[in-house]
Amino acid sequence: MIEIERKVDLSGVASLGKAKVTIGYELANQRVTLRLDGHLMHVVHDGVLVKILPAPIDADQRTGLRGAKVAAGELPAPAAGSVRAERRVPADGVIVVARQRLRVGRTYAGELVTVHVEDTYFRITLNGADLSLHPRKTQRPVTRFRARIHAPKL
């Protein structure tokens, strides 16, 4: 396991050699530790595991990276709780989170649902009850957390 410290630029990208890795705008202008282990890259910020992404560099190329060292200690625990987003279900029953379409169902049209965003899936709940579970296809960050609730037109 290799550990590298990098600063995330203002657009949320860190560089590993010639590879550019999108870490996320929420860590822009912050210093992070990237731990490369097998086919995964763990992003650690302030002693908390923030993200797990696919490793962008092959194992044989990792030792040649600037600042690479053998990882010391165990991987820190993930942050408590998941990222949550709220969405109002439209008439067609499909909501969008992180540019991914998620089918909730027409049955729940007009309801305010909570989307729990994990590393590999989206879990949709309504009043604490699970509605559905969807695989996460991309690692795009969630940029809108609250549903826009329009006032009824008079």
Structural domain containing residue 104:
83-135
Q: Give the pLDDT confidence of 22-76 residue by residue, as tens digits.
A: 887 778 899 999 998 888 888 888 888 877 778 888 877 877 888 888 887 887 7
147: CB partners within 8 A, 6+ apart: 86, 87, 88, 112
As given in the structure block, the two tokens for residue 80 are: 């408590």
In the 8-state DSSP scheme, what is residue 82? -
User: Pick from 25, 44, 70: which residue ends a domain?
Assistant: 70
Q: Is the pTM of this model over 0.85?
A: no
Q: Give the pLDDT confidence of 104-137 residue by residue, as tens digits.
A: 999 999 999 999 988 788 989 999 888 888 888 8
**In a domain? residue 154:** no
- For residues 50 and 92, membership in a common domain is answered with no
Indicate the residue type of 45. H
**In a domain? residue 145:** no
- For residues 65 and 89, membership in a common domain is answered with no
- For residues 11 and 65, membership in a common domain is answered with yes
- For residues 66 and 90, membership in a common domain is answered with no
Domain count, the chain: 2
